Amino acid sequence: MSIYQPCVTIAMPVYNGEKYIREALNSVLSQTFDDLEIIISDNASTDKTEDICREYADKNSHIRYYRNDNNVGAIKNFNRLFSLSNGKYFQWVSYDDKWSPNFIEDCVAALEKDNSTVLCYGKTEFINSNGDYIRTLQKKCRYIDYSEPHKRFRDILINGTSACPSQIFGLIRSDVLRKTSLMGEYYGSDRVLLAELSLLGKFKSLESCIYYRRLHPRQSVKLNPLEKAKWINPQGKRGVKVEKALYEYIFAVNKSNIEIYQKALCYFSIAELSIKKDKWEKLLLPGPNNYFGLFFKDS
């Protein structure tokens, strides 16, 4: 039997998402673009998430639902979804966010128009727990659509912190994503993945479609260092954990096929990231944003 190959794979990792997942699924199902598959990987939820997902999967043939026997951690769950995907284009979506109905259609059109663009994302508007508008993201990457790889890479490292969620939940070419290392088991690996993708092609930001990012108390960014370590890998050792994020930036540059002088400029950007005055705390002090994934020891 041949495998159905849709244009787009929508991939939703979830753990205990009963409060928002209906709204997220309804938002995906309301897209004006319909040549897609929706795959859900449930990380052994203990609430009503499984019942809700099975309900939707039973009613819609576009949805495939998978459930892990045990909580394998957020990163493995994210990466698992890509291994299950069949689409030409791939997009992770969060169980607690929403998208304008034209989001996928406009992103697909942009990628089809320019083969040098590897990732497309929309304007970000923040909403609260009730779905009410809070504000629009103003800070943006400035050079992410430039043809020079070293400029795109620097943009991710130096200017990409606030734009990272918008970009990692953008539409990505599957064949290009397959060339990357995906996400590593350390906090901030999504940004490393974006940096690696930036070396492979341009990003496109669209004002025509909107990503509604929900802010609420259970977001991973609001967890303390030990909670983040557990969120990433529940079976991992707690305490001091060093995952060389800076080394991963270097490794991404090393394995890329860009020109030697461009690699040199990328290394300068990594050095700049390390020595910026406002980055020393993240470089030297343990905490949720430490570049090396250094966490306080559990007492």
The pLDDT of residue 77 is 96
Residue 144 domain-assigned (yes or no): yes
Of 200, 221, 242, which one is at a domain's C-terminal end? 221
CA atoms within 13 A on the CB side of 245: 25
Question: How are the residues of the chain apportioned to helix, strand and coil, as percentages rounded to the nearest 5?
Answer: 40, 20, 40
Are residues 278 and 152 part of one domain? Answer: no
Residue 258 domain-assigned (yes or no): yes
Backbone angles phi, psi at 123, to 5 degrees: -65, 140
Are residues 239 and 217 part of one domain? Answer: no
Q: Which residues pair with 158 in a beta bridge?
A: none
The pLDDT of residue 146 is 95
Q: Which residues pair with 120 in a beta bridge?
A: 171, 204
Encoding tokens for residue 73? 């951690």
Total of domains in the chain:
2
Are residues 254 and 214 part of one domain? Answer: no
Per-residue pLDDT of the chain (299 residues; tens, 9 = 90+): 456 789 999 999 999 999 999 999 999 999 999 999 999 999 999 999 999 999 999 999 999 999 999 999 999 999 999 999 999 999 999 999 999 999 999 999 999 999 999 999 999 999 999 999 999 998 788 899 999 999 999 999 988 877 788 999 999 999 999 999 999 888 788 999 999 999 999 999 999 999 999 998 777 766 666 677 777 778 765 544 444 678 899 999 999 999 999 999 999 999 888 776 455 555 556 655 555 555 555 44
**Cα–Cα distance for residue pair 168/183, rounded to 1 Å:** 11
Helix H or strand E encompassing 167: helix 164-168
Residue whose C-alpha is closest to residue 269's, from 281, 294, 252: 252
Are residues 160 and 262 part of one domain? Answer: no
The pLDDT of residue 275 is 76
Place of tokens 């103003």: 138
Encoding tokens for residue 7? 């244009």
Q: Is residue 87 within 8 Å of 177, Cβ to Cβ?
A: no
Are residues 241 and 199 part of one domain? Answer: no
Of 190, 221, 252, which one is at a domain's C-terminal end? 221
Residue 268 domain-assigned (yes or no): yes
Residue 2 domain-assigned (yes or no): no
Of 170, 187, 221, which one is at a domain's C-terminal end? 221
The pLDDT of residue 50 is 98
**Cα–Cα distance for residue pair 229/226, rounded to 1 Å:** 5
Are residues 168 and 34 part of one domain? Answer: yes
Residue 15 domain-assigned (yes or no): yes
Backbone angles phi, psi at 207, to 5 degrees: -85, -10
Are residues 20 and 130 part of one domain? Answer: yes
Q: Is residue 216 within 8 Å of 268, Cβ to Cβ?
A: no
The pLDDT of residue 159 is 84
Q: Show the domain range for 165.
A: 8-221
Are residues 168 and 59 part of one domain? Answer: yes
Are residues 74 and 202 part of one domain? Answer: yes
The pLDDT of residue 289 is 56
The pLDDT of residue 209 is 96
The pLDDT of residue 236 is 66
Are residues 170 and 111 part of one domain? Answer: yes
The pLDDT of residue 290 is 56
Q: Which residues pair with 152 in a beta bridge?
A: none
Pairing of strands 171-173, 117-127: antiparallel
Are residues 188 and 103 part of one domain? Answer: yes
pLDDT digits (tens, 9 = 90+) for 181-217: 999 888 788 999 999 999 999 999 999 999 999 998 7
Residue 51 domain-assigned (yes or no): yes
Residue 1 domain-assigned (yes or no): no
Residue 292 domain-assigned (yes or no): no
CATH code of 101's domain: 3.90.550.10
Are residues 207 and 260 part of one domain? Answer: no
